[in-house]
């Protein structure tokens, strides 16, 4: 095994050691890319379904007081509707820092045996504002913290909760699958942590608390719905499985709106995300614990979920502090011992 591989193994081992009992996903120091797959439905309160229509017939799989929005109707999205769904991570790739080499893929054990090691979760976001035709036919759907979480999973100030699980397989699609069974399979692990976007939402105030919004054409019904979403969220709470340590706020270099990277702005480049450098400027751009953007589409699988998305997220773990570095040194020393011991046996 060469020195670089030893170094990578040592870092990954040191980061994993504190959380082995919780069986958690592995991250590395510096910038981490998290590959997610998402499924979601749009829900409207039963009262609003009665008042304005546009809902599918109520079923036993609907959360109490809500019904699914009919996706076959054009322009059928209103303020107060809630997008609720599930997500699962396929892999975590560590990019490192400007001084620490990236470790590459540090976790890719998603939903496979033995153990069904998973990193997954639930989310809900309420439509706060709809700005039509902001980019050609695309409408900007500004999303925020739900007034009421339809499925009653989120805590105050949360828009998503993540879990780790090494005992059961989660389910996203399937002809006989129900929404409630899918959510149960996603959230039956150990609570890892939750994220929220604060009180401000894009377009209503200076966005120093993060944001979440989509660019789609809601005038196109049915399976033609496609678009993008952009998000910056902050850590709200951590659970027994949390193992990421201290976070460094970063920014989304793909963003073009006021909370994202602006041309020529040295504080919001991909390089500075790698370095963990982001200094917010009020009214221009914000920094957040977790950033991401992804592609939205209709779910083509046979499934209880209407929409699907692919979402690469970025999160920056602060370089290990002295205590962690001491642990890393011990791991390196141990690896050196085993390497020397192996050589002596060969001799």
* Integer angstrom CA distances of residue 222 from 64, 124, 132: 25, 22, 19
pLDDT tens for 216-265 read 888 876 545 678 888 999 999 999 999 999 999 998 877 766 666 666 67
- Examine the pLDDT at 163 and tell me if it is beyond 90: yes
- Under the banding of pLDDT at 50, 70 and 90, the label for residue 157 is very high
- pLDDT (0 to 100) of residue 261: 67
Domain span holding position 250:
3-346
Short-list 130, 115, 306, 282, CA closest to 203: 130
Cβ–Cβ < 8 Å for 260, 268: yes
* CA 240 to chain centroid: 19
- Examine the pLDDT at 48 and tell me if it is beyond 90: yes
| 53-57, 255-259, 337-341: least confidently modelled range | 337-341
How would you class 60 by CB atoms within 10 Å of its CB: exposed for 0-12, middle for 13-18, buried for 19 or more?
A: exposed
More confident residue, 304 or 253: 304
**pTM of the prediction?**
0.85
Q: Which residues are registered as beta bridge partners of 160?
A: 123, 195
- pLDDT (0 to 100) of residue 346: 39
pLDDT tens for 65-123 read 999 999 889 899 999 999 999 999 999 999 999 999 999 999 998 888 777 889 999 99
- pLDDT (0 to 100) of residue 225: 61
Please state the domain count of the chain. 1
Residues contacting 214, CB < 8 A, separation 6+: 140, 141, 143, 227, 228, 229, 230, 296
């Amino acid at each position: 095994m060469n020195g670089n591989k030893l170094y990578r193994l040592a870092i990954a081992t040191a980061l994993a050691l504190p959380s082995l009992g919780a069986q958690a996903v592995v991250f590395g120091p510096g910038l981490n890319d998290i590959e997610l797959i998402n499924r979601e439905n749009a829900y409207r309160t039963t009262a609003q379904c009665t008042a304005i229509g546009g809902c599918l017939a109520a079923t036993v799989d609907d959360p109490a007081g809500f019904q699914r929005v009919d996706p076959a109707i054009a322009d059928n999205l209103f303020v107060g509707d809630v997008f609720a769904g599930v997500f699962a991570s396929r892999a975590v790739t560590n990019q490192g820092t400007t001084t620490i080499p990236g470790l590459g893929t540090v976790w890719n054990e998603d939903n496979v045996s033995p153990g069904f090691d998973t990193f997954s979760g639930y989310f809900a976001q309420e439509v706060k504002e709809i700005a039509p035709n902001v980019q050609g036919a695309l409408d900007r759907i500004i999303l925020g913290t739900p007034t009421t979480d339809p499925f009653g999973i989120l805590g105050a100030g949360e828009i998503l909760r993540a879990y780790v699980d090494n005992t059961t397989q989660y389910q996203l699609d399937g002809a006989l699958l129900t929404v409630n069974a899918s959510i149960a399979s996603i959230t039956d692990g150990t609570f890892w942590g939750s994220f929220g976007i604060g009180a401000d939402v894009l377009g209503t105030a200076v966005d120093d608390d993060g944001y979440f919004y989509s660019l789609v054409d809601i005038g196109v019904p049915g399976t033609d719905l496609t678009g993008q979403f952009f998000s910056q969220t902050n850590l709200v709470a951590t659970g027994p499985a949390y193992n990421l340590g201290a976070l460094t706020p970063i920014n989304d270099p793909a963003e073009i709106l006021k909370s994202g990277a602006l041309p020529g702005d040295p504080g919001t480049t991909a390089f500075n995300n790698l370095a963990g450098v982001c200094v917010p400027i009020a009214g221009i751009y914000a920094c957040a614990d977790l950033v991401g953007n992804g592609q939205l589409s209709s779910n083509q699988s046979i499934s209880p979920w209407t929409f699907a998305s692919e979402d690469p997220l970025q999160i920056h773990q602060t370089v290990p502090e002295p205590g962690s570095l001491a642990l890393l040194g011990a791991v390196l020393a141990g690896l050196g011992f085993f390497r020397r011991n192996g050589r002596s046996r060969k001799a």
